[in-house]
Amino acid sequence: MSSNDKPATITGGCLCESVRYTVTFPPDHDFENSCTTCQCEQCRKNTGSLIFRSHKLPKSAVEFTAKSTLKLYSATPHCERGFCSDCGSFLFWQRDNRDYTCLTVGCFDEPVLAKYGPLLTTAKRHLFCGREVPGVTDHLAGAKFAADDE
């Protein structure tokens, strides 16, 4: 993959495939700075992972091609997490008053990750590092924020 090889579209969805989406990237999409990690307790509990990784996009860039089991959960006012009510896959989180969504990179289709993985998943911004676990999750290189970066 050359440094100029960027996807125009990608696909993804949940484990049971009852929720599917296609992303059409805006021509000016900032691939280099769109991936973040999060270490807040909600992301840890929701994913079962010590560090959660997402890719930020305009809501208008994501088209759900199947969503019969898509459900929303709000653990925090004005923030919602999208998940499949059948298989439990965590698909995205977003603020209801913002024009962007953050897709979970683990739900991108395998051929997408095989071809564009580093471009879509390399995070330079790390959120809620005030919750880092010394010696376990404090190893990330890049800009670290004690809470959110907004």
Residue type at position 87 = C
Classify the C-alpha dihedral 104-107-112-116 as positive or negative: positive
Three-state secondary-structure class, residue 47? helix
Give residue limits of the domains in the chain: 9-144
pLDDT, tens only, 98-126: 999 999 999 999 999 999 999 999 999 99
pLDDT band (50, 70, 90) for residue 73 = very high
Best CATH choice for the domain 9-144 from the list 3.20.19.10, 3.90.1150.10, 2.170.150.70, 3.40.50.970: 2.170.150.70
Tens of pLDDT, residues 4-43: 689 999 999 999 999 999 999 999 999 999 999 999 888 8
- Residue 2: the pLDDT is 47
